[in-house]
Amino acid sequence: MATPSSDRRAGALEVLRRQHIELPSWAFGNSGTRFKVFAQQGVPRDPWEKLADAAQVHRLTGVAPTVALHIPWDRVDDYAALAEHARGLGISIGAINSNVFQDDDYMLGSVTNPDPAVRRKAVDHLLECVDIMDATGSRDLKLWFSDGTNYPGQDDLRARQDRLAQALSEVYGRLGPDQRMLLEYKLFEPAFYATDVPDWGTAYAHCLELGDRAVVCVDTGHHAAHTNIEFIVAFLLRAGKLGAFDFNSRFYADDDLMVGSADPFQLFRIMYEVVRGGGLDADTQVAFMLDQCHNIEPKIAGQIRSVMNVQEATAKALLVDADALADAQREGDVLAANAVLMDAYNTDVRPLLADLRAEQGLDPDPMAAHARSGYTERVVAERKGGTQAGWGA
Ligand code: AOS
Ligand code: ZN
Ligand code: ZN
């Protein structure tokens, strides 16, 4: 098996040094399934404490300097003050996630609801999220719609697309010149017959109609089993429409588990297409976000593990011998081409990443450093009283 040349190793390190992975504020709250939410000690009670936990992840990994908020779960009176609080912790606020799925009004949909009053309420919330972006300095508005139908005939599929397009267009018109709209798709859940933005093609078509600042968000848990996600990534990057990832891992449906845990090889294949398509170039606009809920594992450590999994997949993707691969592909040498990719995937990149961390003055083992830091014991002691944040609050 080939060992990476020193040039490829140096090139990989250069990219890894500037890699940036965004954490989700909701990962730090209590979470679970529809059956049970298991409360953990020391869990944040408000957005301010969620940011403190996110800062701990960044302090130890050095690659997670931003946190995505979810509104209204992270509602505060003063968003500029929240952004200032983040800066004081050495991080900043990233994407603003809208939420038009948890109110009773949205039973039949939000922006695609047959009732114009409900549609108005939903669009007003999206516009409010852009106001919040102005206050926090966020670039990205992330839109995920639970909208859809459970039964054939329940509503007019075509009219729902019209309503969706109209809502998106109104919100797009409100964006500032440096702000973007990330449109996330999802095959099913909570709608079980037809989802209004079910796949990348639908998201892509709406984004094309809207303009340059509307781009697609690929949540790795939102596809049918066996979907070739790296193909979608390659296609969207080529079209200039890959805006972001919501990284997580799934065995079955939208499991929201730690990214890279179920199928690290898939994560590598995705990151290879990202590298191939320029998605990690210095001027990249692609946002690499985690969208995870930690149900049974400790939350901060779960985020650290995820960040490290993304780093490892990235490092392997960067070590692919592009020249050897191109040669094999040109010659039609199927086995050699496949072997080039597998060589990179089978490389143990942990020493490389340990070197990277040492170079940045970090502990080479962030998991161990977190365990030793006393952070968990401190927050367990400090966070007494109040209500712990949970999924949906
Ligand atoms: C829902 O399935 C999506 O992944 C969204 O990104 C959602 O806003 C997020 O998971 C928080 O629930
Ligand atoms: Zn998501
Ligand atoms: Zn999801």
pLDDT at 5: 87
Taking the alpha carbons of 268, 296, 26, 200 in that order, is the dihedral positive or negative?
positive
The pLDDT tens digits of the residues spanning 96-133 come to 999 999 999 999 999 999 999 999 999 999 999 999 99
Going by CA atoms, what residue is nearest to atom 1 of ligand 1? 144
Going by CA atoms, what residue is nearest to atom 9 of ligand 1? 291
pLDDT at 392: 63
List the one residue out of 22, 21, 26, 23 whose CA is nearest residue 295. 26
Ligand in closest contact with the CA of 293: 1
Ligand in closest contact with the CA of 25: 1
Provide the ipTM.
Answer: 0.97
Ligand 1 centre and the CA of 90: distance in Å? 26
φ/ψ of 48, rounded to 5, equals: -65, -40
The pLDDT tens digits of the residues spanning 167-196 come to 999 999 999 999 999 999 999 999 999 999
In this prediction the pTM is 0.97
Residues lower than pLDDT 70 in the chain: 1-2, 391-393
Q: Is 246 in the pocket of ligand 1 (CB under 6 A)?
A: yes
Ligand in closest contact with the CA of 223: 3
pLDDT at 193: 98
pLDDT at 1: 53
pLDDT at 119: 99
Residues with CB under 5 A from ligand 3 (ion): 254
Going by CA atoms, what residue is nearest to atom 6 of ligand 1? 144
Q: Is 147 in the pocket of ligand 1 (CB under 6 A)?
A: no
pLDDT at 390: 84
pLDDT at 164: 99
User: Domain residues of the chain, as ranges?
Assistant: 19-319+361-382
pLDDT at 393: 61
Q: Is 254 in the pocket of ligand 1 (CB under 6 A)?
A: yes
Please tell me the CATH code under which domain 19-319+361-382 is placed.
3.20.20.150
Ligand 1 centre and the CA of 356: distance in Å? 32
Residues with CB under 5 A from ligand 2 (ion): 219, 246, 291
Ligand 1 centre and the CA of 352: distance in Å? 33
